[in-house]
Amino acid sequence: MMRLIFSGLLASTVLLTACSNGSDATGAAIRPVKITVVGEDHGLNSRRFVGRVDALSTVDLSFQVPGKVTQLSVNEGSIVPKGQLIAALDPRDFNLALREAQTQFSQAQRNLSRGRELFDQGVISQVDVEQLQTQFDLANVARDNARQNLAYTNIRAPFNALVTRRLIDPFTNVAPNMVVVRVQDVTDLRVHINVPEHLIQYLNQKADLKAQALFSQLPGQPMPLTYIEHQTQPDPVAQTYQVSFALPRLNNKAILPGMSLTVELALADLPTAAASFDLPISAIDSRQADRVVVWVYDEKTQVVTAQKVRLGPFTGDRVQVLEGLSGGEQIVSAGVNFLHDGMRVKPFTSL
């Protein structure tokens, strides 16, 4: 009798030990698996991308007339207000040309007035008057041209301009259209990022897109971004699309064109029917020819169940799931080829 009791206790001890070492009551080993929460880390609701700051526009400024540069007082990195002088040529030759043109204009005006009087008196013909009119018109054009050339001796900022490069020195003789300075419009800034193709559909649908800029040199100071546009042709290699945002300058001199940043992109209030999720390819089970599934883990029962899904585009080692998930499910993201419905598993934490 004592021997039977001892044998029973021994069997119970072995069973409890087996269960505590990763077996269920039937003696089958409980397989450890990697668990991922759908939409927690890689869903479309929030993503981060590396971006680049750019100016609203970049312009090379040059003189339209030749001459010697006598003023070039701007420094690289400085901001010149709209309309302020950037560079100037020696104006003396252009002032002389204007005075000459004005004198010729005045003479042509007097000749035309006198010719009309003579025509009224019958001294000269209509053809003579027309020739005097032509000379007057040409003198007027020459005067306007001289005025314009004098104005071309000054280069003024076409906008609030950041001087990025000064390409000549003062007292340099320049030819027409020779670049003097390169400036950028920093009234507003632009931010460009490249996003995978499966995100473009939400831009096309004008979803509630929220974006903010994060700069390493300005920790704890996120800046809101406004969506401007996106390219409709992908990069031929990366198959990504460039998206552009507006970044208000806000007189923050710490942010300049060419700087890198992180853009946090969020798609809020997506309708349930349009919800999709970015999952690792290792979570997809395609062993069955008629369907593709993921394995949903029930934390209470520790049992996995197959859930049929519809896949979208692949990007690297990830795939977009278009249908079958609502977000928040715990799914097996590694080791799916060994699973079956009703199988008990346990989340793998560490070695």
Q: pLDDT tens across 28-80, in order?
A: 678 888 888 886 644 445 677 889 999 989 999 999 999 999 999 889 988 89
For 207, phi then psi, to 5°, come to -70, 170
104, 123, 152 - which closes a domain: 152
CATH code assigned at 320: 2.40.420.20
Cα distances (Å, whole numbers) of residue 326 to 41, 230, 272, 331? 15, 28, 7, 12
The count of domains in the chain is 2
Instruction: Calculate the average pLDDT of the chain.
Output: 83
Nearest in space to 163 (alpha carbons), one of 75, 262, 100, 272: 75
**Shared domain check, 341 and 286:** yes
- Domain for residue 324, yes or no? yes
Domain interval for residue 127: 91-152
pTM: 0.56
pLDDT at 110 over 90: yes
**Shared domain check, 283 and 342:** yes
100, 119, 152 - which closes a domain: 152
- Domain for residue 82, yes or no? no
- Domain for residue 237, yes or no? no
Question: Is 18 strand, coil or helix?
Answer: helix
pLDDT at 1 over 50: no
Question: Is 312 strand, coil or helix?
Answer: strand
CATH code assigned at 98: 1.10.287.470
DSSP state of 86: E
- Domain for residue 127, yes or no? yes
**Shared domain check, 38 and 100:** no
- Domain for residue 80, yes or no? no
pLDDT at 270 over 50: no
Nearest in space to 336 (alpha carbons), one of 289, 276, 287: 287
Question: Is 7 strand, coil or helix?
Answer: helix
For 256, phi then psi, to 5°, come to -130, 155
**Shared domain check, 341 and 281:** yes
What does the longest C-alpha to C-alpha distance in the chain come to?
A: 157
- Domain for residue 306, yes or no? yes
